[in-house]
Structure 1
Amino acid sequence: MPIAIAGTHSGAGKTTVTLAILAGLRRWGVSVQSFKVGPDYIDPMFHAAVTGRPCHNLDPVLTSAEYVRSCFARHSAKAEGAVIEGVMGLFDGAGSDGFGSTAHIVRLLGKSVSAILVVDCSRMSRSLAAIVYGYHHFDADVKLAGVILNRVGSDRHREILLEAIAPLGIPVLGILTREDGIKLSDRHLGLVPTEEVANFRDIVDRLTELGQRCFDWERLMPLIKVSSTNLKQTSTPLCLDTPVRIAVARDRAFNFYYADNLELLERAGAELVYWSPLEDEKLPDRIQGLYFGGGFPEMFAAQLAENKRAIAAIAHSYNHHMPIYAECGGLMYLSQAIADFNGNEFAMVGALPTRTVMTDKLTLGYRRCLPLPPGEGLAFARSSSHQTQEFMTNAKPLRPSPTPNPQPPDRPIWGHEFHRSHQTVASDCPLHRLRDYADRDLGTEGWRGHNFWASYVHLHWGDLPTIVKGFVEAARSQTVLSSSSYN
């Protein structure tokens, strides 16, 4: 019965507790599959670095209840145990009804998952009992299998907490003291990714020691173990056609990818070839498509701008109608320039006639994306005016192409925005009209063109087979360019 690590609120210590459990299991040789509730990218990076396997997001807003169940079943069945890290507080979701919350995920997965509550005890004693009692009884369908007390200050503090909670009969599965030596750095969009944490292995070693020392494993281990008999496994059929090579930008600047998206591309017939816009001067050989995920290009803008050969290769590929899919950080990289938080400006690829400017304003939230009809936005098979713009590298203007790019589905889709930047020019060929979770109109967004999709909105492709298939098929129809032709 796998566990879902929930918190009373954001900052209660869910990530530290989850990583300590994962690290302890890994040290003991237990294969464990991790999951993350919600649209987050960075926590899953930490999970994957500890477990050695991709972490999968469980988000019924971006996908569906059916996909959440199938994703959990499919990947849990591959390991001995499963651990889900929740989002915000146990009952906090996208709206006031708690949709997409950790509690919602627990209800969706039914009796196969147990909820464990992490409580920050640093500023309380007997009040712990009232808090745990409330969380345990708030929703009859979400009962706590146990609690983990975090940031306990002293032996006496520990005694008071245990005495207070004892009458409730809810097991205490772990007690963590204040661990100043385990601090995960953050910045303007959350935690700093693992690749940029210089002492990450030291942190993992401390988490491992913490995990082995601070949990009641006799009680915890049976909860984590997976029973495959309760898991109904389904998966997307594997494409047996000749693989089509798609280059995926993956380094310190671009690392926001849902594990499911990459897996779905492969199952649709893509051979993913990873490369670095920071370090590699050439694109991978014999590619037929480019995928730029999100990340932190603003933190590495100077180094990206210095890699002029990579920029020229991307421009050449774009001008030859190679299918390109770009989200958020990828969109920023394809603009004319990025102006960082200090106002310093660095030339980027220049595919879009706009600059990207960093700002203190945070744009955050789920987005309902309404694909624009042909009368309002230009379809992928039609021309768009931004394609006549020359790259800053003096590449040739893009010419019309008969090959379609990933086609948007014929229904509204949900995505997620999370950035502190804006573009200086509005798109004349937007992808969609956006509405927030409260159904407020946010205007049009994104850039579309021949074999081209660029947007601030992150999409999870679990329930979007049209985009996956469209991207791969557009790449398959693309003439293979050797590295010598664009480098």
Structure 2
Amino acid sequence: MAVIIAGDRSGVGKTTVTLALLAALRQWGTVQSFKVGPDYIDPMFHTQVTGRSCRNLDPVLTSESYVERCFRQHRQTADFGLVEGVMGLFDGAGSSDYASTAHIARLLDLPILLVLDCSRMARSIAALVHGFRSFDPRLKFAGVVLNRVGSDRHLELLQAALEPINLPILGVLRRQAEITIPDRHLGLVPTEELPQMQELIDRLAVLGKESFDWGKLLPLMKGDRSQSLLAPVLLGDPAPNRPLNPPYVGNLEGQIPRIGVARDRAFSFYYADNLDLLERLGAELVYWSPLTDELPAEVNGLYFGGGFPEMFAAELQANAIGRAAVRSTIVAGMPTYAECGGLMYLSQSIMDFEGRSWEMAGILPTVAQMGKRLTLGYRQAAALQNSPFMQEKAIVWGHEFHRSTLTQLPKTPLYQIRGYDATSPATTEGWHMHQAHASYVHLHWGDRAWMPHNFLQACLRFGKVQPGTF
């Protein structure tokens, strides 16, 4: 079993409550965490606290069946399970609650722990809880967590108001400033940039032990590891119209492609399932830092995830040897997959928020310019041409989340893009140059194993064509 942490809206403290619960649970055993939606940063914090990769549950980027398989496969390997929701409980991808916390709670049959910001209310809390509890009778509520409670008297008023609702108070967190997680233009600052991370985890553990009714919570989150929730399942099974015959390594002719994965403070946005899938398909992942390292030797392909290259542009520019190696290798034809921050790194330069220009790898004839406008939302991407990752006319769902724009757009774009609302106008986006597939759209490969499989096949072909040159 597991519980799902929900809020009546964004900003009520879901992440702080989740991290405090996770940190405290570590004293009793292993904990598997999950995050609803496409977010990268919150799962980084989960992973730092639990020591296990957090898994994203997003039916738009994957599918409902994949969400169920992912949850059950990973949940059964830990003593406790916890899911952090997204936005408000019923806020989904469009006008319905699809991909919302409520949707995932129904899909996985999980009890909801509703987090409430009590800082500006007392008796009105009862009306709020009553409304959320009765809005969808299919949902199960475990209880509420009262966050930002001001005083003992404030707590008494809240308790008195909620008593007739007959929904237990399972946690109380007081207003306090000693636990703060810094943020910036795309949300929380990633864990790799927080030298005080262990101190933060220790404080969260203390907060968690003192703030929750563990006698009622532990049974809700504890599972029986001696029994599998499902028979073993294979995550990342290919789409039905793209059959592959496991073991996947056989489809790669028994060879082991080596993929250089850019991973450091500038490039940290990776779905754990994507990296796992590459390895299950037979790849060896070689992690390296475009901030400080030369290009790793003997790799067949490159993978640049998203992140914050704009925050480390000076360091990326200073690594001239690394940039030159990336440029010459991609020009020579090495298959490369780059998302968002990776796209920015492959551009000619990045212009930061202060208007300063920093040289990048110089593959794409465009400049990534930072601005105030946030581009955010799910995207349906239809491939307009072949690339090492997908064939023309393939359609996938992805997600955009960035504050940069490109000064020049490709003459032959990679994708035709539509928003989640089917009535929104179509645009074009993405680059395919040499053998580089670069786009602002983040993809969760999930149950579309044909995408990384195509990529690995292209990587092996490159290796055969130019042996010993990488």
What CA distance in whole angstroms lies between the structure 2 residues aligned with 1:465 and 1:229? 24
Give me the CA root mean square deviation. Answer: 1.7
The residue aligned with 2:19 is 19
What residue identity is the alignment partner of 1:3? V
Q: CA deviation at 1:155?
A: 0.9
**Which of 265, 273, 290 lines up with 2:302 in the alignment?**
290
Question: Sequence identity of aligned pairs in percent?
Answer: 55
Which amino acid is 1:136 matched to? R
For 1:125 and 1:283, locate their aligned partners in 2 and report how far apart those are by CA, in whole Å.
Answer: 58
Matching residue's letter, 1:448: H
Structure 1 Cα separation of the partners of residues 435 and 248 of structure 2 = 21
Alignment-mate amino acid for residue 15 of structure 2: T
1:271 equivalent to 2:280? Answer: no
Give the match's secondary structure for 1:57. strand
- Determine the structure 2 residue equivalent to 1:455: 439
Q: Is residue 113 of structure 2 the alignment partner of residue 116 of structure 1?
A: yes
Aligned to 2:240: none
Q: What does residue 147 of structure 1 align with?
A: 144
- Residue pair 1:369, 1:432 contacting (<8 A) in 2 also: yes
CA separation in 2, counterparts of 1:340 and 1:29? 45
- 1:83-122 matches, within 5 Å, as 83-110=82-109, 113-122=110-119
Distance 1:198 1:313 in 2: 30
Give secondary structure in 1 for the equivalent of 2:365: coil
Q: Which residue of 2 aligns with 1:213?
A: 210
Contact 1:107 1:141 in 2 (8 A): yes
Q: Judge conservation of contact 2:111–2:141 (CA < 8 Å) in 1.
A: yes
Q: Which residue of 1 aligns with 2:241?
A: none
Q: Which runs of 5+ in 1 are unaligned?
A: 373-377, 381-404
Task: Count how many residue pairs are aligned between Structure 1 and Structure 2.
Answer: 453
1:340 equivalent to 2:352? Answer: yes
Match status 1:242 vs 2:255: yes
Per-residue CA deviations over 1:431-483 (Å, capped at 9, x if unaligned) read 11111112212410001144320000001100322211101111122227999
| SS class of match (1:261) | helix
- Paired AA for residue 156 in structure 1: R
Segment drifting more, 39-48 vs 74-83:
74-83
Match of 1:369 among 381, 384, 387: 381
Counterpart in the other structure of 2:221: 224
1:429 aligned partner:
412
SS at match of 1:453: strand
Tell me, in whole angstroms, the C-alpha distance in 2 between the residues paired with 1:267 and 1:419.
Answer: 30
Task: Give 1:182's aligned amino acid.
Answer: I
Amino acid corresponding to residue 299 of structure 1 in structure 2? M
Aligned-residue offset at 1:179: 2.1
Deviation at 1:485, TM superposition (A): 4.8
Measure, in 2, the Cα distance between the counterparts of 1:247 and 1:29.
37
AA at the equivalent of 2:10: S
CA distance in 1, matches of 2:204, 2:105: 26
Contact kept, 8 Å, 1:408 with 1:467, in 2: the verdict is: no
1:354 aligned counterpart, secondary structure: strand
| CA deviation vs aligned residue, 1:73-116 (integer Å, no higher than 9, x gap) | 11111111110000000110111111100000011112xx2111
- Please state whether the residue corresponding to 1:147 is helix, strand or coil: strand
Separation in 2 of the partners of 1:87 and 1:76?
Answer: 19
Deviation larger for 239-248 or 206-215: 239-248
2:239 maps to which residue? none
SS of structure 2 residue aligned to 1:433: strand
Kept after mapping to 2: 8 A contact 1:285/1:482:
no
- The equivalent of 1:476 in structure 2 is 460
Q: How far apart are the structure 1 equivalents of 2:175 and 2:407? A: 45
Match of 1:130 among 121, 127, 131: 127
Matched position secondary structure for 1:458: coil
What is the deviation of 1:243?
A: 2.2
Aligned-partner SS, 1:477: helix
Residues 472, 356 of structure 1: alpha-carbon distance in 2 compared, 3 angstrom cutoff = same
Distance apart, 1:412 and its partner CA: 2.4
Deviation of the 1:411 alpha carbon: 4.3
Cα contact 2:330–2:434 (8 A) shared by 1: no
Quote how far apart the aligned CAs of 1:231 are: 3.6
Does structure 1 retain, via aligned residues, the 8 Å contact 2:76–2:229? Answer: no
What letter matches 1:362 in structure 2? L
- Per-residue deviation, residues 191-243 of structure 1 (Å, max 9, x unmatched): 00011123221111110000111111110001111244544541145534332
Which moves more between the two structures, 234-243 or 58-67? 234-243
The 1-side partners of 2:17 and 2:389 are apart by 40
| Shift of residue 410, structure 1, vs aligned partner | 4.8
For the Cα contact (< 8 Å) 1:294–1:329, is it kept in 2? yes
- Is 2:389–2:451's contact at 8 Å kept on the other side of the alignment? yes
Could you list the per-position Cα deviations for residues 222-265 of structure 1 after superposition, in whole angstroms to 9, with x for gaps in the alignment? 11112445445411455343321101000000000011110111
Q: Deviations over 1:2-55 (max 9, x none)?
A: 0100001000110000000000011x1410100000000000000000000110
Aligned pair in 2 of structure 1 residues 430, 366: CA closer, same or farther (>3 Å)? same
Match of 1:306 in 2: 318
- Quick check: 1:181 aligned with 2:164? no
Q: Which residue of 2 aligns with 1:401?
A: none
Residues 397-430 of structure 1 deviation map (CA, whole Å, 9 limit, x = unaligned): xxxxxxxx12247542111000001111111221
Q: Which amino acid aligns with 1:461?
A: W
- What is the identity, as a one-letter code, of the residue corresponding to 1:50? V
TM-score using structure 2 length: 0.93
- Structure 2 segments unaligned to the other structure (5+ residues): 236-245
Code of the residue aligned with 2:265 in structure 1: it is R
Deviation at 1:171, TM superposition (A): 1.2
Q: Look up the match of 1:379.
A: 386
The separation in 2 between residues aligned to 1:14 and 1:409, in whole angstroms, is 41
